[in-house]
Amino acid sequence: MLTALSIANIVLIERLDLDFEAGLGVLTGETGAGKSILLDALGLALGMRADSALVRQGSNQAQVTASFAPPAPGTPLAELLAANEIALEAGEALLIRRTLKADGGSRAFLNDQPCSAALLREIGTHLVEIHGQHDDRGLLAPAGHRALLDTYGRADTAAVAAAHAAWRAAEAKLAAARAAILEAERDREWLEHCVTELQALGPQPGEEAELAEARAAMQKGERLAGDLGAIMEAFEGSESGPALLRGAARRLDRLAGDHPLLAEALAGLDRAIIEADEAETKLHEAARAMEYDPDRLEATETRLFELRAMARKHGCQPDDLAALADDLAARLDAIEGGSAGLAKLETEVAETAAAYTHAATALSDLRTKAAARLDAAVAGELLPLKLDAARFRTLVERLPAERWGEAGIDRVEFLISTNPGAPFAPLAKIASGGELSRFILALKVALAEEGGADTIIFDEIDRGVGGAVASAIGERLARLAKGTGSAAGKQLLAVTHSPQVAAKGAAHFIIAKSSEGTVTRTSVRALDAAGRREEIARMLSGAEVTDEARAQAERLLETV
């Protein structure tokens, strides 16, 4: 909801600060007072084209600042702001500022964060709807008619969207399986050869490292065999070092009691014998570990080289050969069992397609019924708005199968016929400016939608009508602003020349133009009760306000 608007140096507006509230606000003033300037300024804040002609003569820069109530969490607007990293504190207003230089340059800011005009326009569509004589957005855009009808009919499209996603996912799986089988079929001969070769080799993870380690140990054993043999000879036979130490220890054992030093010498010999025994044990263990067997070494090297050669052939590491063998075997199996697998996936596609068609058909039936109710509701609004010759129809048309999507199988468009016997056609193509605005109002009242922008502006919706029709327009604007049933109320701003419409406003702003010498200014101010009566009386009587006009104005205000 628009809460405040500040304008500086826009055409005839030198400085203007306005506050707005919820409900219906009306803007009146004499022709040429500058009502369009106010809308142009708001449009500039909402991202419309920056025209340097808007800059007030003699000024270097124009600026518009619009303040909006904070968006509710989870709404499309809140998500759009978050996606563009526009952070708002809890309860913080959304502040839009747009500056325009006399040379045509412009800048835009969202809560003092620079943004593009394109983002401003996108955000603006969530904030304000402007319906005027040349409106080509909002209800006139067929792209949004289906969503509007779904909102009106309280249609839950989530089930259809989920069914469509499941269907497309099943189709993607089937397509991928067919492509995989086709590719595998082309490589069948190569796959059979590779699988046979790998299965014959039987590679195991970690095998290459074990073989390399064993080969290195045996090669060391071959090099050290002579040295180890000579060393082992020093530990063998009666003349070996350990044997001589044991003989000396036995003799010394008989003498050790004769002197303390002999006892210490015996202890030293015992330690030497123990160390020699441990050294001999280690030597035997090392000899066994590095035992050199030419046949075993050859077999180890052959296996190692086969693994490495196979890995090079397939461009992978030796440890990956086992996994590669399983993968190639699976691809070969997929060819053999492909038909059965495809049949299962084809069944899944058929089942999900049927589920989608069932859900989408039910949604289509609901739309058709909602369309009939909407047509009747709009028809009830046309007669009071002096559109009694017109007919409204909501087209619900089945799309070709290739265009079915997550929103269903229908194309929805609002059509009108303005004269008896005339064919139905889109709103924007056959309605005149005044008719168009009244059709939009009728639709808005009939839909009473909870979605869409919270602020709606009608620019001279009462053009060319008066009396009872103008009164009907005012009543419907007030009803739309208040909301009905479960539908939330809107903030409506109506630029009007009709006293009947002006009298229905909860707030009334007058736009006036004044001149001082060669300087002309446009001003806008809110009217109190007395001011409203005087302005409505002026609208009723013209330049000279009569007591009769004031009395009639009072009666109009009393009916609100």
At 90-114, the pLDDT tens digits run 788 999 999 999 988 899 999 989 9
Section 435-442 average pLDDT: 77
* Structure tokens that stand for 332 in this block: 């070969």
At 23-33, the pLDDT tens digits run 999 999 887 77
Tokens 């609100």 found at: 560
The pLDDT assigned to 448 comes to 63
- Going from N- to C-terminal start, the domains of the chain cover 188-338
Q: Is the pLDDT of residue 136 over 50?
A: no
The pLDDT assigned to 147 comes to 86
Give 58's pLDDT tier (boundaries 50, 70, 90). confident
At 254-310, the pLDDT tens digits run 887 778 888 888 888 888 888 888 888 887 877 776 666 788 888 888 999 999 999
The pLDDT assigned to 244 comes to 80
Top-confidence range, 146-160, 289-303, 305-319, 462-476: 305-319
Mode of pairing for the β-strands spanning 23-28 and 491-495: parallel
CA–CA dist 357, 514 (Å, integer): 65
- With a CB cutoff of 8 Å and minimum separation 6, the contacts of 50 are 44, 98, 100, 104, 105, 106, 117
Tokens 């009769």 found at: 548
Share of the chain above pLDDT 90, in %: 34
CA–CA dist 424, 415 (Å, integer): 6
Give 8's pLDDT tier (boundaries 50, 70, 90). very high
Q: Is the pLDDT of residue 521 over 90?
A: no
The pLDDT assigned to 138 comes to 56
b/e per residue, 269-294, with b = 16+ CB within 10 A? beebbeebeeebeeeeeebeebebee
At 530-540, the pLDDT tens digits run 999 999 999 88
At 175-234, the pLDDT tens digits run 988 888 787 777 788 888 999 999 999 999 999 999 998 888 777 766 766 667 667 777
What is the distance between the terminal CA atoms of the chain, rounded to a whole angstrom?
23
* Structure tokens that stand for 412 in this block: 């929805």
CB 449 within 8 A of CB 488: no
Angle between helix 260-289 and 207-233 (nearest 10): 140
CB 166 within 8 A of CB 366: no
Residues in the chain: 560
> Does the model's pTM come out above 0.75?
no
CA–CA dist 164, 366 (Å, integer): 18
Give 451's pLDDT tier (boundaries 50, 70, 90). low
Question: Of 67-81, 86-100, 240-254, 311-325, where does mean pLDDT reach its minimum?
Answer: 240-254
Q: Which amino acid is at 383?
A: L
Distance of CA 168 to the CA centre of its chain: 19
Q: Is the pLDDT of residue 246 over 90?
A: no
The pLDDT assigned to 364 comes to 96
The pLDDT assigned to 484 comes to 60
Q: Is the pLDDT of residue 133 over 60?
A: no
φ, ψ dihedrals at 37, nearest 5°: -65, -40
Instruction: Compute the 3-state secondary structure of the chain and give helix, strand, coil in percent, each to the nearest 5.
Output: 55, 20, 25
